């Protein structure tokens, strides 16, 4: 009864939305043509660059200066860093006159920044005693430390739509910066026209999906509010190749814990047209102790802006995170560890988190409150940091079309979860045994993706599209977008659901 009432409320709110793009099921078919996003990777020679695509300083609403942030990125082993402050384009790490003074002044005025910006020197020493120098090579800026480590600065990193309610779009490589009251369309189209790359940030915050108690309710296509957002996001990603996809795990995953479900829905839609949707992970760090929670591994031969841009556009990346806030994923992970390794301490830890999650949900329902449910898997210390050497490392991903198999070789990994059509198809032990798609033909529809889990966190592969037809360039989506104020649909839908629960409907 509660779900019926919730859906009626959502239908009333969104009655003006005429959406017809309902995902259709794929017919099962033994014998696959596998579109491998990593097909062009030479695993023997490729470099694996740990990359931060989304991080903040006190130029907008971060707690720390640029110098402090870059020092921490160096300490945690980053190779590529994009500083993406709200409405402040990263044009230099050494010149405080560049960027946007307006946003910094506004943030200072409202108490989100102290305004005391501290940029790097051309040559200097970090507070930890490490000497560095800024160098330019072939048009790219690098920070070079005395121990020989080099960090590429990503040009023009920015989180667009600073004056909006979470309609955040990160972009890189082009000087686009929209600070007016704006929406997804302005940023995505503007970046596309200039030849940049963009991604939709933490969609669960905008859609309010983060507040759902149960995963089944998040991004439910029978809820017209969610249906509207799903089709809008997918439409922009489908219509503009420069908008590569969405952020599926950032800032501890509390906001994004259901955004893997959104990704799976869009992967199914894209697979129908022979396309895909790329996922990234990020720290979205506003504090130093969050910098190493989420990142991507860029697979490239060279550490240059051009190579990074190519890797993003081709999906030659591996998102990774130390945090999982999704209750169902945690339960499945615990079951997988128990199956292959027994009731280890890690199994007991994760199983206890699932129990705590269930207890918190029950308490919320019993008390008719709508507090955020936040439970995470981590073996993190109190500072939220996990040693980089314990994180799963993918050595290779080999696709054999003749045998319909995918083989993932990874270090520091325990299990691999295989997902298709938004459902767990299988959990396998993390060894180099080939995963045979033909053994799961009834459950595999349109695409398959993998999540490599170890004590140090999770690494996601991009989607492998199956039996894909080549998409026509003219195959565009009709996008309904109510613009700057459409976040109200999600907010009213959320509180409509809360009201229904409180009234016992």
With 0-12 / 13-18 / 19 or more C-beta atoms within 10 angstroms meaning exposed / middle / buried, residue 343 is: exposed
C-alpha 417/C-alpha 203 separation (Å) is 23
Query: Helices then strands (H, E): number in the chain?
Result: 11, 22
What is the CATH class of 46-323? alpha beta
Q: E strands within 121-213?
A: 123-125, 131-137, 140-145, 150-153, 158-160, 169-172, 197-200
Half-sphere exposure in the Cβ direction for 452 (13 Å, CA): 25
**Intra-chain end-to-end CA distance of the chain, in Å:** 6
- DSSP-assigned beta bridge partners for residue 448: 464
pTM (two decimals):
0.89
459-495: burial string, b at 16+ Cβ within 10 Å, e else: bbbbbbbbbbeeeeeeeebebeeeebebbebbebbbe
> In a structure prediction context, what are the per-residue pLDDT tens digits for the chain, which is 505 residues long?
445 445 544 544 444 443 334 343 333 445 789 999 999 999 999 999 999 999 999 988 889 999 999 999 999 999 999 999 988 889 999 975 555 566 777 667 666 677 788 889 999 999 999 999 999 999 999 999 999 999 999 999 999 988 777 789 999 999 998 776 668 999 999 999 999 999 999 999 999 899 888 999 999 999 988 999 999 999 999 999 999 999 999 988 989 999 999 999 999 999 999 999 999 999 999 999 899 999 999 999 999 999 999 999 999 999 999 989 899 999 999 999 999 999 998 899 889 888 888 888 888 888 766 555 555 554 433 333 344 567 899 999 999 999 999 999 999 999 999 999 999 999 999 997 899 999 999 999 999 999 999 999 999 999 999 987 655 555 888 888 877 777 777 677 666 655 544 454 4
Q: What is the CA radius of gyration of the chain?
A: 22
Q: Which residues contact 431 (CB under 8 A, 6 or more apart)?
A: none
Closest to 299 measured CA to CA, from 323, 278, 273, 284: 278
Q: Which residues contact 11 (CB under 8 A, 6 or more apart)?
A: 224
DSSP 3-state of 465: strand
DSSP 3-state of 223: coil
- Taking phi over 0 as left and psi of -120 to 50 as alpha, with beta for the rest, 136 belongs to beta
Q: H-type helices in 136-258, by residue range?
A: 184-194, 203-207, 224-239
CB 73 within 8 A of CB 388: no
DSSP conformational letter for 337: H
What are the residue boundaries of the structural domains of the chain, listed by start?
A: 46-323
């Amino acid at each position: 009864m509660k779900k019926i009432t919730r859906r009626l409320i959502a239908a009333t709110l969104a009655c003006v939305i005429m959406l017809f793009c309902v995902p259709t099921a794929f017919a099962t078919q033994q014998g696959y043509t596998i579109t491998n996003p990593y097909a062009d990777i030479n695993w023997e020679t490729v470099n694996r660059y740990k990359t931060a695509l989304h991080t903040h300083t006190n130029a907008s609403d971060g707690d720390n200066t640029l110098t402090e942030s870059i020092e921490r990125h160096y300490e945690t082993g980053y190779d590529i860093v994009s500083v993406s402050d709200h409405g402040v384009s990263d044009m230099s790490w050494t010149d405080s006159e560049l960027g946007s003074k307006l946003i910094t002044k506004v943030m200072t005025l409202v108490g989100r920044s102290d305004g005391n910006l501290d940029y790097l020197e051309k040559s200097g020493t970090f507070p930890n005693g490490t000497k560095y120098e800024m160098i330019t090579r072939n048009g790219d800026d690098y920070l070079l430390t005395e121990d020989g480590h080099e960090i590429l600065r990503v040009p023009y990193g920015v989180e667009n739509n600073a004056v909006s309610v979470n309609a955040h779009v990160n972009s890189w490589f082009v000087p686009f910066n929209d600070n007016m009251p704006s929406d997804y369309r302005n940023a995505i189209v503007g970046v596309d026209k200039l030849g940049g790359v963009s991604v939709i940030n933490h969609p669960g915050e905008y859609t309010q999906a983060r507040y759902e108690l149960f995963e089944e309710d998040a991004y439910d296509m029978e809820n017209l509010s969610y249906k509207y957002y799903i089709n809008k996001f997918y439409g922009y990603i489908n219509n503009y190749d420069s908008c590569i996809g969405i952020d599926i795990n950032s800032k501890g995953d509390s906001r994004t814990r259901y955004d893997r479900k959104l990704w799976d829905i869009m992967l199914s839609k894209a697979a129908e047209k022979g396309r895909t949707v790329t996922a990234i992970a990020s720290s979205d760090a506003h504090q130093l102790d969050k910098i190493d929670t989420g990142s991507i591994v860029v697979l490239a031969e060279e550490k240059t802006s051009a190579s990074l841009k190519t890797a993003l556009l081709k999906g030659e990346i591996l998102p990774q995170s130390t945090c999982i806030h999704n209750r169902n994923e945690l339960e499945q992970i615990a079951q997988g560890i128990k199956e292959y390794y027994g009731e280890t301490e890690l199994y007991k830890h994760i199983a206890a988190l699932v129990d705590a999650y269930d207890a918190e949900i029950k308490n919320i329902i019993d008390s008719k409150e709508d507090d955020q449910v936040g439970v995470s898997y981590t073996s993190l210390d109190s500072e939220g940091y996990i040693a980089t050497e314990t994180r799963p490392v993918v050595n290779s991903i080999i696709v054999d079309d003749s045998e319909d198999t995918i083989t993932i070789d990874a270090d520091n990994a325990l299990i691999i979860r295989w997902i298709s059509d938004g459902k767990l198809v299988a959990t396998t032990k993390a060894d180099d045994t080939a995963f045979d798609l033909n053994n799961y033909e009834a459950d595999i529809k349109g695409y398959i993706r993998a999540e490599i889990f170890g004590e140090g966190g999770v690494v996601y592969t991009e989607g492998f599209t199956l039996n894909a037809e080549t998409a026509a360039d003219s195959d565009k989506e009709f996008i309904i977008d109510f613009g700057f104020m459409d976040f109200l649909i999600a907010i009213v839908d959320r509180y409509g659901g809360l009201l229904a629960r409180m009234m016992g409907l």
